[in-house]
Structure 1
Amino acid sequence: MPITDKDRDVLARTLWGEARGEGLAGMVAVAWSIRNRVEDGKEKSWWGEGYTGVCQKPYQFSCWNQNDPNYPFISGAKPIPKAEFATCHLAAQQVIDGVKPDPTGGATHYYATTMPKPPKWVVGAKQTLKLGHHVFFKDVP
């Protein structure tokens, strides 16, 4: 599946909504968890198809939920600060192009440690990385 300009933009917007406070390394890790979903090897993936489909799959990345405080920014209703957005685009491009290796060890899930408690899906999942305020997992039951 070819990667479009829209895919690049939606991935960068997702990184802003999910990981803008985590620095470039944190954004790259989140982008890799998304890429791992995109490249799950299934013909018709539950995650969605392509970067846009995966990022905007309902209830997978909370920043795309219409009641999320980030949504007005990532939807384009409010402007994202240019310098922050440039860093998000850089992280997205580096992951799409494979310039940065996957620091997550194949993770397809993560959660923010700022949540009151870990999500239920953590039980039985294999933690692969803790970076900043995110904990990454694969093999989620």
Structure 2
Amino acid sequence: MTPQEIAEASAAAMWNDDAASRRLGMSLEHVGPGTATLSMVVTQEMSNGHGTCHGGYIFLLADSAFAFACNAHNQRAVAQHCSITYLVPGRIGERLTAEAREVSRRGRSGIYDIRITNEDGEQLAEFRGHSRTVKGTHIPVGE
């Protein structure tokens, strides 16, 4: 299998078990070796007391993109540390997109940057995730 095929097969296996991302209406738009793009529309139920998207939902979208990017090599990986900086609020009805890219992957550790934008391309937040691989794969080795 090519690295792209491995990324796609790993994502398909993960997506089947990712009830949280699916239930919130996220779409997995792209996955590649060390990359992933997910999007979701901000609903009224996701709004906070300011009438904007609750930051937890923005974090969740970024975290899901991070998960698909760091698991794209057919090695199970989990979050070790994550941080987010919010720049501008998300609005109800907007489609938010999280684009994850691998910055570094050495040994069992990885670093990923995730940019969250709205449908106009305006950056809402920047997320950085540190991953750690654990035992196991998503697809049988040798497929």
Q: TM-score, structure 2 length as denominator?
A: 0.29
- When Rg is computed on C-alpha atoms for both structures, the one with the higher figure is 2
- Would you tell me which structure has more strand in proportion to its own residues? 2
Higher helix share: 1
